[in-house]
Chains A and B, each alone.
Chain A
Amino acid sequence: MTVTFWVNGRRQAWEVLPDEVLADSLRSHGFTSVKKGCGQGACGLCTVWVEDKPVPSCSVLTVRMAGKHITTLEGVQEEAAAYGSLLVAEGAEQCGFCAPGLIMLVLAMKKELKDPSEQQVREYLNGNLCRCSGYYGQIRAAMNYLQSERLG
């Protein structure tokens, strides 16, 4: 069946199966920033935005996206680079596989939370897993990113 929606501001009409998940649809159409880890919504690697809300794209049916606006890392490259550079500066970018999903979640967090504490940041980012690190670098980078955004 054909489903019509927007990806990164561009209208798309994709032929999909009824039980196809958004992660597969996005990757098969070239949006390969979307990574697949667990396939069950438990690792956060596949995080994208639907109507600006972060969702696990491996657990979202593409057929439900009719009329909706989807954002992947490809669509927020400038903002992603801002946090991404801080991530690198903290040594938190190792294999890189968790980064796209984490960056999408951090950018969503910046929109949703106002002046969060480190504990609130940790709670927000809970559920996006990294196999390389102990998360301290990602958290420091997130706090630095929020601080730099506040200072403009």
Chain B
Amino acid sequence: MIFKEYVCPSTLAEAYETLWSHPGSVLLGGCTLLRRNTRTSPLGIDLGGLGLNQITKTGTDLILGASVSLREMETSCGDLFDGALCKAVSALGGIPLRNVITVGGTVASRFGTSDLLTVLLALDTRLQFYHSGLCTLEEYLNMPPLRDILTEIHIPLGCSRIAFQSMRNACTDYALLNAAAADTACGLRIAVGARPMAAALSEAAADCINRGGTPAQAAEASAAELKFADNHRAGGAYRRELCLVLVERALKEAGI
């Protein structure tokens, strides 16, 4: 990506006003994917000066500032959620790259290939936007494009068990498919991502388990419910087959 001008606002209000007063301007998160984007933007708005790099634990939630790097998240929160946050990012390049990629950039971009989105969706994550306020990650994944600034990622701490599974051609490649199964305070949540579309919840799989079904039956329900498609990495039909395996494995690993 080329951008002709650069600013680094010192307040959220200034950043938001700049975003809206400059059509075509882009928010700069980790910036690691800029080279893969061929757009030209008139203005890059750096979020680095806004102090969004805090990690806070309240009585109910883990709150990650949007500018927290994946490596900071790994090293600070690795013991939470059965290590699922670490597992979800360990395949992403190397530590230098994870020192730069931000949680906010990953979430806001809604990448289909993201392992972290799948884990966060299973954990019933909420997103705090500067102007729009709080919404669930599920709502955000189904919204039209939102011209707003993601400031915080809130992950409820009431998850007793979670497991993450993925299938990839090489250990540092993007997943062909990923899945996460979590037993949270608000019930079972089974998410499947890299379909190649971004993560989605399988209500049918959760219902199946709640009615006494086995992990294999729940996996069949998720494969029937969710949509899969072709891309250069895998075909939709193959992804459906992977779903049968990964959802079952995730449920078994989580002891659900």
A59-B5 contact given A105-B95, A105-B96, CB 8 Å threshold: no
Q: Map CB proximity to A onto B22-49 as digits: 1 under 8 Å, 0 otherwise.
A: 0000001011111110000000101010
Q: Is the CB of A41 within 8 A of B97?
A: yes
User: Is B96 a contact of A64 with CB atoms below 8 Å?
Assistant: no
**Given A56-B32, A58-B35: A128 and B1 within 8 A (CB)?**
no
B6→A18 contact, CB < 8 A: yes
Would you call A125 an interface residue if the criterion is a C-beta within 8 Å of the partner chain's C-beta atoms?
yes
Contact status A61-B94, CB under 8 Å? no
Which residues in chain B, 185-238, are within 8 Å of chain A measured between CB atoms? none
A108 to B5, alpha carbons, bound, how many Å? 33
A41, B44: Cβ atoms closer than 8 Å: no
10 sample A-B contacts, Cβ–Cβ < 8 Å, listed by A number: A53-B99, A56-B32, A59-B97, A60-B100, A61-B28, A61-B31, A64-B31, A105-B95, A108-B95, A126-B94
In the complex, chain B residues whose CB is within 8 Å of the CB of A47: 96
Is the C-beta of B3 less than 8 angstroms from some C-beta in chain A? yes
**List of A residues within 8 angstroms of B1 by Cβ:** 19
Q: With A19-B2, A61-B28, A63-B6 in contact, is A42–B93 under 8 Å at CB?
A: yes
- The verdict on A54 contacting B99 (CB below 8 Å), with A18-B44, A42-B93 known, is yes
Pairwise interchain contact B35-A127, C-beta atoms closer than 8 A: no
Contacting pair A41 B6 (CB below 8 A):
no
Residues of A within 8 A of B32 (CB): 40-41, 56, 59
Taking Cβ atoms with an 8 Å cutoff, the residues of A that contact B are 1, 18-19, 21, 39-42, 44, 47, 53-56, 58-61, 63-64, 66, 105, 108, 123-128
Q: Which residues of A contact B96 (CB under 8 A)?
A: 41, 44, 47, 54-56, 105, 127-128
| A59 and B28 contacting across the interface, CB-CB below 8 Å | no
Residues of A within 8 Å of B31, CB to CB, are 59-61, 64
Contact indicator per residue, chain B 1-30, by CB within 8 Å of chain A (1) or not (0): 111111010000000000000000000101
B109 at the interface (CB under 8 A from A): no
User: Is the CB–CB distance between A128 and B94 below 8 Å?
Assistant: yes
Q: Chain A contact residues: over half helix, strand or loop, or mixed? A: mixed
The residues of B that contact A42 with a CB separation of less than 8 Å are 93, 97
Task: Return chain A residues, CB-CB under 8 Å to B2.
Answer: 19
**Given A19-B2, A59-B34, A126-B172, A64 and B48 touching (CB < 8 A)?**
yes
- Report chain B residues within 8 Å CB of A126: 94-95, 171-172
- B70, chain A: closest CB distance, angstroms: 12
Measured between C-beta atoms, what is the minimum distance from A121 to chain B in Å? 12
Q: Is B90 an interface residue (CB 8 A)?
A: yes
Q: What B residues does A108 contact at CB under 8 A?
A: 95
Please determine whether B95 and A124 come into contact, CB atoms closer than 8 angstroms. Answer: yes
For A126, give the chain B residue with the smallest CB separation: B94
Nearest-neighbour CB distance to chain A for B99, whole angstroms, equals 5
